[in-house]
Chain A
Amino acid sequence: MQHGKYRFIVGFLAVPMALYVILVIWPFIQSIYYSFTDWTGLSPDFTMVGFDNYAKMLDDDIFWKSLQHSVLLAVLLPLVTLGLALFFAFMLNVGGRRRKGAAITGVRGSGFYKIAYFFPQVLSIAIVAILFQFAFDPAQGMINGTLKAVGFTDVPDWLGDPKLALWVIMAVLVWCTTGFFVVLFSAGMASIPKDFYEAALLDGASRFTTFFRITLPLLWDTVQSGWVYMGILALGAEGFAIVHIMSVGPGGPDYSTTVLPLYVYQSAFRDGQAAYATTIGVALLLVTLAFAALVMRVGRRERLEF
């Protein structure tokens, strides 16, 4: 039954692979090529300049700041988001008190919570950013309004304060991504056989133990993929959109929220330095690859089959 298997797979993959090479791999190679030129992006003329752009980048404080912020986002965001999502998903699916007729169940009203958590996912990231920009508005925003109503007089400037701005942005990112993973993990948990839980309950295992001994190990693949996915979101599109729309400048105040994709964008589309932007893009590519490789490597463990 196995002969012809590879021909079968190749037949199916040829077209997508070709598209992938043309639309993804080839632009990569082009970008790397452009990073060795002085292309402005506003004129088709350019000359080769060797490693000039790379030398400039290594000597550029703003680049290092953006890198630092991007790495912080890539490390911290998955940790918080996935942690919260796991907790919520566990409570929604397994964490409830025992009720008649079912060995395991979610907390009361879990159906409603699932929708509530998923809701932010329905909104475009731009809308989320603009909504929160209003909410964090220091003068008329809802958040400071609430703080003032309960008696705080010295309310923070939020996005206007370099010490807080990046944390505000992270909080918004957590808010709008957690729901997706709650649903993803819920789906994963639904496929774990119920008898495992029943057996554990009969043995008198606590919810805590059930989570760490049954749920997490059996969900590990999903968690790992989620980790990579979330990290890439933080390094790429979502991190960019939120910072670009919400933060002062954008990227400020005082470069406190600037991230790599924003710096790529600004160099290419504001400063007319497309070649330098591709150079930062190459750095971003390396960071992203390193991140994915690290997560895959560290997270590797024996697969449990069920």
Chain B
Amino acid sequence: MGSTSAQHNEGLGRRDLIKRSAALGLIAVPTMSFLSACASGSGDSGDDKVEKGEKTEKNPLAVNGSAPLEIVIFDGGFGTKYAEDARDVYKKTYPEAQIKFSATQKIQSVLQPRFNGGTPPDLIDNSGAQQMDMGVLVGKKQLTDLTPLLDAPSIDDPAKTVRDTLRPGIVEMGQFDGDPVWMLYYAYTVYGVWYSQTALDKLDATYPETWDDMLALCAKAKKQGIAGWTYPGKHPYYIPFSLYPFIGKIGGVEVLNAIDNLEPKAWEHPAVKAAFEAYYELYAKGYILKGTPGLDHRGSQGAWARGKALFIPNGSWVENEEAAIIPKDFKLSVGAPSSLDSSDKLPFGTIWASGGEPFIVPAKAKNPAGGMEQLRIMLSEASSKSFTSNTKSLSAFNGGTDGLELSDGLKSGVAALDKAGTNVVNPRLQDWYVKLQKEQIGVAALGEMMAGRATPAETIKKIQAFADATAKDQSIKHFRHQ
């Protein structure tokens, strides 16, 4: 009898052994071990910063020109060309510096272990679907205060500080609690209702400035087999891009601030109800493109670009993202939310515009001065122009569009900002409370309402409950408008 056969002994049999160990292994591997793979490191390696360089007029941040610099860029709708251009400028200024430049779509999976281990890069574009939670980063003191950068003279005009050259709201957006500025939003995004002027011309219409006109136009389009609206049904957190400024327009900025501050009953404000009911009417009257709840962002944007729907709530990146399929004669334009009625608190033209692409310098970066200097270069007029011409988007640098030939969407965005004047709103839920905004309000509440599976009243109740739960949850860091 062979010694590995167990048919006639007690105890360990070959099959039993294999079966048991297989079962154990199968249970173990997929369940948990992946979590501990990123178990926290020692974290004391953060103090070995590079030596400071000499502070001069040309080098106000005292960059050590021979110290290595590491940059990680999110490779998304804007690509990486603009950041590479700025990197080349840094290289020219400090030829001795070794620059490690990388681009990824998976910011969190690439960088989370490095934050944990205390060896993050010097400059990060923390953006995209895998953005690291800003609230946690700020709460756990993982970021460098960028105030020295803002107070440094700008590249183009030493008489002006970097702070003076930024668009309104950019500095405030980088502040989470009090004075320090934790992040610098580099892109400037205009959110709103995006449409094709050509499509409206064909219907003999202009952009509807009142909600009644909006409904009338949708009815007209429906007769020709064109839907009024579509939205990324798989990511319904795009709906707020036009819905939130609509709420702000109806009820005033205080309503949006109360929502951001997670105040009790903030969502029960009549302005919220009015805005929700108006949007729900789009569903009820059949003005939403069929199948929208199952479309992702590319699918819905594609249907819209091919003329199946007139309007889509979106941000100014859509022009670059869909550049390949938007027809030449599309005349891409952005509209501010239509007026609900004459009692609206803010005038027509009120729009949501705010920073995008948040750049951060980690607290444990080895060369924080280098990271900030790189940002200073990016905020020069030349770099800003490179960004705008490469991405068809505005940057945080105020101006820098002179002499550039602007694309249709960009031109319309600049015009919309001009029209809005000071009536620019900036709801913060999407950078303060990612889960609440995207998953709970977006997918679970607004997505259901716009698919016609929940009434506005039910939706408001649901969102208020989510907001209350977020306010109560002590493991989430809470912020307030200052």
Which of A's residues lie within 8 Å of B, judged by CB?
Answer: 1-2, 5, 8-9, 20, 23-28, 30-31, 34, 38-46, 56, 136-140, 144, 155, 157-162, 221, 225, 228-229, 232-233, 235-237, 248-249, 251-255, 261, 264, 266, 268-274, 276-278, 281-282, 284-285, 288-289, 292, 296, 305
- The interface stretch among B27-35, B82-90, B387-395 is B27-35
From B3, B137, B289, B447, contact of A42 by CB (8 A):
B137
CA distance A285 to B290 in the complex (A): 42
Beyond A42-B112, A42-B140, A249-B234, 13 additional pairs, beta carbon < 8 A: A24-B25, A28-B28, A40-B139, A44-B43, A138-B292, A139-B291, A157-B293, A159-B294, A232-B26, A270-B130, A270-B133, A272-B132, A285-B27
Set of chain B residues within 8 Å of A281, measured between Cβ atoms: 31-32, 35
> In the complex, what distance in Å separates the CA atom of A43 from the CA atom of B143?
11
B140 contacts A45, C-beta separation under 8 Å: yes
- In the complex, which of the residues B12, B29, B130, B141 contacts A9, with contact meaning CB atoms closer than 8 Å? B12
A284–B435 alpha-carbon span in the complex (Å)? 22
* Interface check B324, CB cutoff 8 A: no
Q: Is the CB of B23 within 8 A of A285?
A: no
Q: What residues of chain B lie closer than 8 Å to A251, measured between beta carbons? A: 439, 443
Cα separation A253 to B234 with both chains bound (whole Å): 8
Q: Inside 8 A of A31's CB, which chain B residues have their CB?
A: 32-33, 35-36
Give the shortest distance, in Å, between B237 (CB) and chain A (any CB).
Answer: 9
Q: Is B453 an interface residue (CB 8 A)?
A: yes
The 5 closest A-B pairs by CB, nearest first: A160-B294, A236-B30, A138-B291, A44-B43, A160-B293
Give which listed residue, B29, B115, B141, B447, contacts A253 with CB less than 8 A: B447
Give the docked Cα–Cα distance between A56 and B324 (Å): 47
Task: Give, as a whole number of angstroms, the nearest-CB distance from A19 to chain B.
Answer: 11
List 24 A-B residue pairs with CB atoms under 8 Å apart, sorted by A's residue number: A1-B3, A8-B3, A20-B25, A31-B36, A34-B36, A40-B140, A41-B38, A41-B116, A42-B137, A42-B142, A43-B116, A43-B137, A45-B140, A160-B293, A162-B453, A228-B23, A253-B293, A254-B443, A264-B35, A274-B35, A278-B32, A281-B32, A285-B32, A288-B27
Q: How far is the CB of B13 from chain A (nearest CB, A)?
A: 10
Name B14's closest neighbour in chain A (CB-CB): A9
- Please tell me if the beta carbons of A28 and B33 are within 8 angstroms of each other in the complex: yes
Interface centre among B25, B448, B451, by most chain A C-beta atoms within 10 angstroms, is B451
CB of A44 within 8 A of CB of B116, answer yes
Instruction: Decide: B136 and A139 in contact? CB cutoff 8 A.
Output: no
- CB nearest to B137 among chain A residues: A42
Q: Which residues of A contact B289 (CB under 8 A)?
A: 139
* Cα A274 to Cα B132 with chains together (Å): 12
Please give the distance in Å from A223's CB to the nearest CB on chain B: 13
Contacts of A254 in B (CB 8 A): 443-444, 447-448, 453
Knowing A24-B33, A160-B293, A284-B31 touch, does A272 contact B443 (C-beta < 8 A)?
A: no
| CB <8 Å contact, A38 and B40 | no
Pairwise interchain contact A160-B234, C-beta atoms closer than 8 A: yes
B171 to chain A, nearest CB (A): 24
- Cross-interface CB contact of A139 among B19, B38, B295, cutoff 8 Å: B295
| CB under 8 Å from chain A, chain B span 216-245 | 233-235
Count, A-B residue pairs, CB within 8 A: 213
Instruction: Known A28-B28, A157-B294, A264-B35; judge A271-B40 contact (CB<8 A).
Output: no
Tell me, in angstroms, the Cα distance from A255 to B445 when the chains sit together.
Answer: 10
Is B39 positioned at the interface, with any CB of A under 8 Å from its CB? yes
When distances are taken between beta carbons in the complex, the residues of chain A under 8 Å from B112 are: 41-42, 269
Report the minimal beta-carbon distance from B28 to chain A, rounded to whole angstroms.
Answer: 5
Which residues on B sit within 8 Å (CB–CB) of A46?
40
Chain B nearest Cβ from A198, distance in angstroms: 26
Q: Which of B40, B136, B447 contacts A252, CB < 8 Å? A: B447
Q: Mark B418-449, 1 if CB is under 8 A from A, else 0.
A: 00000000000000001100110011100110
A225, B19: Cβ atoms under 8 Å?
yes
| A residues near B294, Cβ cutoff 8 Å | 136-139, 157-161, 248
Report the minimum CB–CB distance from A80 to chain B (whole Å).
20
B42 within 8 A of A: yes
Cβ contacts B40-80/A at 8 Å (1 or 0 each): 11110000000000000000000000000000000000000
What is the minimal beta-carbon distance from B17 to any residue of chain A, in angstroms? 8
Cβ contacts under 8 Å, A41 to chain B: 38, 40, 112, 116, 136
- Which of B7, B29, B30, B31: most chain A Cβ within 10 A? B31
Q: How far is the CA of A140 from the CA of B142 in the complex (A)?
A: 45
* Residue interface bits B128-149, CB-to-A below 8 A is 1, else 0: 0010110111011110000000
Binary contact readout B89-123 vs A (1 if CB under 8 angstroms, 0 otherwise): 00000000000000000001100100111100000
The distance in angstroms between the C-alpha atoms of A160 and B133, with both chains bound, is: 27
